[in-house]
A = this chain, B = another copy of it.
């Protein structure tokens, strides 16, 4: 079904993975003090090397401009000395977070005297496959180090020079700290095949996390034989119930859609109970349009948009299924809560689904019946975020059900080990 991976690239990636495994054994034994000291040293090294990073970044930017890269993407790619400092500061913030490794999750003493404890331990070797933003390179290295994992990074080609400069600084600094440079690895060769070799390095790599657009995630999920955590596809809904406080509903709708439309926790679709549609929609649709939101409406919502003189086109099935990542929204009027739930069952990506209602029974049904990483009552979808949840760091937002669901932070980069101690027990 897919072309074979270049065997030389497989060798290249497997060789790095084997060295990362050796490094990971050393990382697993570090205590928090050692890891935090290393993180602070990495931060200092990045600041000291900021000029090199900015110079490498200038090469990437020039290549981007030559290829006609859009201004928005160029901006995401760009690193100024101030941005390098912010990236370094993020490492210091990770140093300040608690260490998940060693936490005893459960424990007991069995009738035969065996003591049992389930302890958090690092995953081992974690692969990250991601796109443009070079700060992800440093974030992943920092979160990996803090959680005792070696990381293998496959960044976007647009940031190749920047990522190489960053990783060189990090590896040098690790060596200076007496830690293995192979704790942080960047795949610089092999192009697309390197990513494919990484996601099929079963037994050598413990986990792969893709971060990026739907295509990247689809590819990784389909081709990977290494366990994957799927992240970041958000076709999020706001449902305004018959029992909604319409002032709250308007604020939540506008905020969910327009606060930062390019991210996965932005709302893409608005559902309104028909009992409140005439009161609610004309004003809110006008406000959304005023913020520049392109509106795709079903028949009833379209009629209400027309009465308010708001531009709109007819929502298709594809509109309802799309994560726009932009100032664009699908809108439907539903007959009742059941119809809203049916709509969400059909189109949800399992990220975040919000109801606005003062009706306790409706809220309870929404919370119980919607199948998503986060279900919200009377709050903006934008709150599904590791920072907002108080985790202090975020490696991504999982939209799958295995291992981690919702914002993932340091504990989600660990697994557990059962430690069983006895004095000669047999069965």
Contacts and interface: CB of A to CB of B under 8 A. Distances in A.
Main secondary structure on A side of the interface with B:
mixed
Given A374-B418, A418-B406, A424 B29 contact: no
Interface string A293-321: 00000000000000000000000000000
A249 to B, nearest CB: 9
Contacts of A403: 402-403
Given A114-B379, A202-B221, A377-B420, A402 B401 contact: no
B389 A417 contact: no
A110 interface: yes
A119 to B, nearest CB: 9
A372 B121 CA distance: 10
A97 interface: no
Contacts of A373: 417-418
A333 B210 CA distance: 44
A28 interface: yes
Interface in A362-376: 363, 367-369, 371-376
Contacts of A418: 373-375, 384, 389, 405-406
A28 B345 CA distance: 14
A415 B402 contact: yes
A243 B380 CA distance: 61
A181 interface: no
A426 B259 contact: yes
Contact of A417 (B2, B25, B363, B405): B405
Contacts of A426: 251-252, 254-256, 259, 379-380, 382
A70 interface: no
Interface string A396-412: 00001111011000000
Contacts of A415: 401-402, 405
Contacts of A118: 406
A227 interface: yes
Q: Which of A110, A389, A420, A427 has the most CB of B within 10 A?
A: A420
- A202, A406, A424 — most chain B CB neighbours (10 Å): A424
A379 B225 contact: no
A44 interface: no
20 contacts: A108-B390, A114-B383, A124-B371, A245-B424, A247-B424, A248-B424, A259-B426, A373-B417, A374-B418, A374-B419, A375-B419, A375-B420, A376-B420, A377-B421, A378-B422, A378-B425, A382-B426, A383-B425, A405-B417, A406-B416
Interface of A: 1-2, 25, 28-29, 108, 110, 114, 116, 118, 121, 123-124, 202, 206-207, 221-222, 225, 227-229, 245, 247-248, 251-252, 254-256, 259, 345, 363, 367-369, 371-380, 382-384, 388-390, 400-403, 405-406, 415-427
Given A382-B426, A402-B415, 19 more contacts: A25-B345, A110-B389, A114-B379, A114-B383, A124-B371, A227-B400, A229-B402, A247-B424, A254-B426, A367-B419, A373-B417, A374-B417, A376-B422, A377-B422, A379-B420, A379-B422, A383-B427, A405-B417, A406-B416
